Amino acid sequence: MDVLLGIGTRKGMWFARSRDGRASWELTGPHYPVDGVKALTIDTRGPSPRVLAGVVNEHFGTTVVTSTDLGQTWHEPEQAPIAFPEDADAALQGIWQLAQGPVDQPDVVYAGVEPHGLFRSDDGGKSFELVRGLWEHPHRKQWMPGGGGACLHTVIPHPTDANRVTVGISAGGVYRTADGGQTWEPGNTGIQAVFLPEDQRYPEFGQCVHKLAINPSRPDRYFLQNHHGVYRSEDDARSWQSIAGGLPDDFGFPMVVHPHRPEVIYNFPLVSSEFRFPPAGRCRVYRSEDAGDTWTALSTGLPEDGYWAAVMRDAMCTDDADPAGVYFGSRTGEVWCTPDEGEHWQLVAQHLPDVLCVRAAVV
């Protein structure tokens, strides 16, 4: 089995490749070593894999680069493919998410950006258009920036209905469309906004969602990591119930669903919004095998004590093999892998810059 792991950091990209079932890894990079990379995807919908990455250069701005040879060489367009139109009165500050469309639409790619915007490409990422229905939503001007910025960080196209897309916005909440992006409705019932006064903690919108996830085989069930709060929805992201019981804390960033078992999810808890460390300084991934009703700490091979690094919202992922590999990268530049769905962990890379995102695929 040949697995490619893409690692986006605050200063460039690296790629780790395993050709022996994740027993060993070959690391290459850095690519774009002075650019920040918050978003990348390994697109396997076409006849050969293709990597897309959103890179941000402090001097030259933001663009999307592509590779058709698994990161060996790169194509950078002469003109940035994502830009707000003049009448939007906004300037692109960063790309937070690159998400593939449904399998039967191999040229569709979505980009979630800062400030709070969604773009769609119908030509495989060569050009993008602003999704006006969300940008012109009456709530948008009331969305506040989260701690990381005014970002639309999660885009989940429905796997079988091209008209349905769900997004996560910090700090706007969950929004859903069923008509191809023309109209959007909030889906935040039951999500608590702990930073608001007690009698206002369940607003229609304004929640600081950190991450959303689904399994394509059960697309009406969603999981969510909030700014304090871990939730499950059984009604297509309309309403939410807490599944934080059994976790040591309810703050964190990533939320990952197993690629084949829709009841299995992974989470990396942190102490709180003030103290963004793993509880007790112990590196632990938590797994639920019953959709969040109960949780198990996974730690074999991970640092036992004195571990104070956080894991960001897109810095945890799975590949699509069976058994699935699970990966996470830390803000102190370590990348970890489990080849057996969490039972044992091994170090893939260390001493990298601050890891912002990881993405894996069988190639």
Domains and CATH numbers, the chain: 3-362 (2.130.10.10)
Question: What residues pair up with 75 in beta bridges, in sequence order?
Answer: 66
Residue 147 pLDDT: 87
Q: What is the pLDDT of residue 347?
A: 98
* Among 301, 311, 302, residue whose Cα is nearest residue 283: 302
Provide the token pair at 347.
């170090």
CA distance linking residue 239 with residue 245, whole number of Å: 18
Nearest of 303, 259, 266 to residue 281 by alpha carbon: 303
- Amino acid 152 reads L
pLDDT at residue 151 in the model: 96
User: Which conformational region is residue 178 in: left (phi greater than 0), alpha (psi within -120 to 50 degrees), or beta?
Assistant: alpha
Long-range contacts of 46-55 (CB under 8 A, 24+ apart): 46/106, 49/4, 49/361, 49/363, 50/124, 51/6, 52/98, 52/109, 52/125, 53/6, 53/8, 53/13, 53/98, 54/94, 54/95, 54/96, 54/98, 54/111, 55/13
pLDDT at residue number 45? 92
pLDDT of amino acid 201: 94
Torsion of CA 172, 192, 179, 160, to 10 degrees: 120
Q: Which pLDDT belongs to residue 164? A: 97
Do 54 and 40 form a contact (C-beta atoms < 8 A)?
Answer: yes
Alpha carbon distance 173, 153 (integer Å) = 11
Strand partners, 94: 114
Predicted local distance difference test score (pLDDT) of residue 273:
86
Q: What is the pLDDT of residue 172?
A: 96
Give me the average pLDDT of each 10-residue run along the chain (363 residues): 96 97 96 96 93 94 95 92 96 97 94 98 96 98 92 96 96 97 98 92 96 95 97 98 97 97 98 93 97 98 95 97 96 97 97 98 95
pLDDT at res. 148: 87
Whether the Cβ atoms of residue 57 and residue 38 lie closer than 8 Å to each other: no
Backbone angles phi, psi at 316, to 5 degrees: -140, 140
Q: Could you tell me the strand order of the sheet in which 209-215 lies? A: 209-215, 218-226, 230-233, 241-242
pLDDT value, residue 56:
95
